[in-house]
Amino acid sequence: MPDFDLIMYENEFRRIDEELKKLYQQSNANVVFLVDKNGQLIASAGDTSEIDTTSLASLTAGNIAATGGIARLLGEKEFTILFHEGENDNIHISLIGQRVILVVIFDKRSSIGLVRLRVKKASENLLRIFNEISAKSEKKQHEKSLDESPFAEITDEDIDNLFK
Amino acid sequence: MSFINYSSREINCKIVYYGPGLCGKTTNLQFIYRKTNPEQKGKLISLATETERTLFFDFLPLALGDIKGFRVRFHLYTVPGQVFYAASRKLILKGVDGVVFVADSQLERMDANLESMEDLKINLAEQGYELERLPFAIQYNKRDLPTAVPLTEINSAINTDSTPWFEAVATRGSGVFETLKGVAKLVLMELKKNY
């Protein structure tokens, strides 16, 4: 397999959550969220009640993937920032460490300058956390440690129950 | 590449429906969407052209239930089948946990099936995957059509590695959930193997 599964534990999740909350407040954003490059939502901050975050996560990842494809055609490694401007809301998408996507949705209470500034700072902190997570996931998979894994016990019956 | 979140107690797995143009990948997802309870599904997103051909992908998130206290979420994707969307197809395969190859049973689509299967292997290899080592199921779709190739024949042409296969008529929904369940089982068993 080319990549290791991403395993998120309570401790790292809390640190990510705090970092997103800080970014949300400091950038005056409406919503901030973090998406795996494969399209899975990792965490969010702000009012997400009106937003279909699962769909947004998948489409954002598709957007980044398509832009990455364009970049490679042009001989660039990656375009790390995408910005979409709407009538009311704007969306700032940035790639952190080739692995996760940071999305900030904001309106006229904020500005692109402020968002870029705050995103830069938050990205450094998030990158550090994700490097730790990757190292931990990789180690875990190497060791195949079964000490706390609930998955070793999956039975056919469990799977059948999902499809009842 | 599954995403296991111990904090929210969720497992996320990505399943991609692959196959030649007009073989019924989107139809599979549409049927699953129609027949799943509202609380178990998200929106079905289709990035399609005006003539309803898939342009980039379809996406359907499903949360069918819990296993060992973890919510199991499947993210189903389709690729655009038409040959000239090769670049987009590659992108969708990123981070895939399981693949369903939807084959079109009609005699006149046999070449297209084989070409698409080859394309799948090449695109997976480019991302560092081997089809033989991935959870993988084949669906023989459109079994109701008069020009459908007999099962033994289509299976020996396409299924060279004794992959689990399913018969289907996706427009009526027959075989659709059986295929999904088949690949989901393989994905979860892979998870079991790795942890």
Q: B21-76, pLDDT tens digit by residue? A: 999 999 999 999 999 999 999 999 999 988 889 999 999 999 989 998 999 999 99
Nearest-CB residue to A1 (from B8, B129, B191)? B129
**B177/A163 touch (CB, cutoff 8 Å), yes or no:** yes
- In this complex, is the C-beta atom of A87 within 8 Å of any C-beta atom belonging to chain B? no
Query: Distance (Å) from the C-alpha of residue A86 to the closest C-alpha of chain B?
Result: 20
CB pairs under 8 A between A and B: 132
Segment B92-108 mean pLDDT: 96
Establish if A66 touches chain B: CB-CB under 8 angstroms.
yes
Best to test chain A binding among B16, B29, B192 (most A CBs inside 10 Å): B192
- Quote ipTM for the complex: 0.81
Share of chain A above pLDDT 70, in %: 93
CA distances from A155 to B94, B118, B188 (A): 28, 33, 9
Nearest Cβ partner for A40 among B56, B75, B181: B75
Q: Which amino acid is at A69?
A: G
Touching check for A14 and chain B: CB below 8 Å?
Answer: yes
Q: Is A33 helix (H, G, I), strand (E, B) or coil?
A: strand
**Residues of chain A neighbouring B64 (CB-CB closer than 8 A):** 162-163
Q: In this complex, do A5 and B45 lie within 8 Å of one another by their Cβ atoms?
A: no
Where are chain B's structural domains?
Answer: 3-194
* Three-state helix/strand/coil letters over chain B: CCEEECCCCEEEEEEEEECCCCCCHHHHHHHHHHHCCHHHECCCEEEECCCCCEEEEEEEEEEEEEECCEEEEEEEEECCCCHHHHHHHHHHCCCCCEEEEEEECEHHHHHHHHHHHHHHHHHHHHCCCCHHHCCEEEEEECCCCCCECCHHHHHHHHCCCCCCEEECECCCCECHHHHHHHHHHHHHHHHHHHC
Res. A156 pLDDT band, cuts 50 70 90? confident
- Would you state the pLDDT for residue A140? 73
Read off the DSSP letter of residue A144: T
Residue B89 at interface with chain A, using a CB cutoff of 8 Å: no
With an 8 Å Cβ cutoff, are A144 and B184 in contact?
Answer: no
Is residue A4 predicted with pLDDT exceeding 70?
A: no
Domains of chain A: 10-162 (3.30.450.30)
DSSP-derived 3-state class of residue A92 = strand
A116-135 per-position pLDDT tens digit: 999 999 999 999 999 998 88
Inter-CA distances, A135 with A8, A19, B12, B53, Å: 12, 20, 20, 41
Q: Does B129 lie at the interface with A, CB-CB under 8 angstroms?
A: yes
pLDDT at A138: 78
Cβ–Cβ < 8 Å for B98, B183: yes
Distance from CA of B126 to the nearest CA of A (A): 10
> Across residues B104-131, what is the average pLDDT?
96
Query: Does A141 sit within 8 Å of B4, measured CB to CB?
Result: no
Confidence at residue B193, expressed as pLDDT on a 0 to 100 scale: 83
Are B2 and A5 in contact (CB < 8 Å)?
A: yes
CATH superfamily to which B3-194 belongs = P-loop containing nucleotide triphosphate hydrolases (3.40.50.300)
For residues B146-155, average pLDDT: 96
Instruction: Please tell me the distance from the alpha carbon of residue A27 to that of residue A76, in angstroms, as a whole number.
Output: 29
Q: How confident is the model at residue B174 (pLDDT cuts 50, 70, 90)?
A: very high
**Is the CB of A3 less than 8 angstroms away from the CB of B14?**
no
What tokens were used for B111?
Answer: 């070449």
Give B82→chain A minimum CA distance, Å. Answer: 17
Most confident listed range (A51-65, B93-107, B181-195): B93-107
For residue A2, pLDDT beyond 60? no
Q: How confident is the model at residue B191 (pLDDT cuts 50, 70, 90)?
A: confident
Query: How far apart (Å, rounded) are the C-alpha atoms in residues B150 and B176?
Result: 19
What pLDDT score does B194 carry? 78
Q: What are A7-25's pLDDT values in tens digits?
A: 888 999 999 999 999 999 9
From chain A, the residues in CB contact with B85 under 8 A are: none
Query: B181–A163: do the CB atoms touch at under 8 Å?
Result: yes
**Closest partner CB to A158 (pick from B47, B61, B67):** B67
CB contact under 8 Å between B4 and A58, yes or no, is: no
Cα A112 to chain centroid distance, Å, stands at: 20
**Residues B64-97: pLDDT tens digits?**
899 989 999 999 999 999 988 988 999 999 899 9
The sign of the CA dihedral A56, A61, A65, A68 is positive
The string over B158-167, giving b where at least 16 C-beta atoms fall within 10 Å of a residue's C-beta and e elsewhere, is bbeeebebbb
**Per-residue model confidence (pLDDT) at position B1:** 72
Question: Given a cut of 90, is residue B138 above it in pLDDT?
Answer: yes
Distance from the Cα of B59 to chain A's closest Cα (Å) equals 8
Closest by Cβ to B7, choosing from A9, A66, A68 = A9
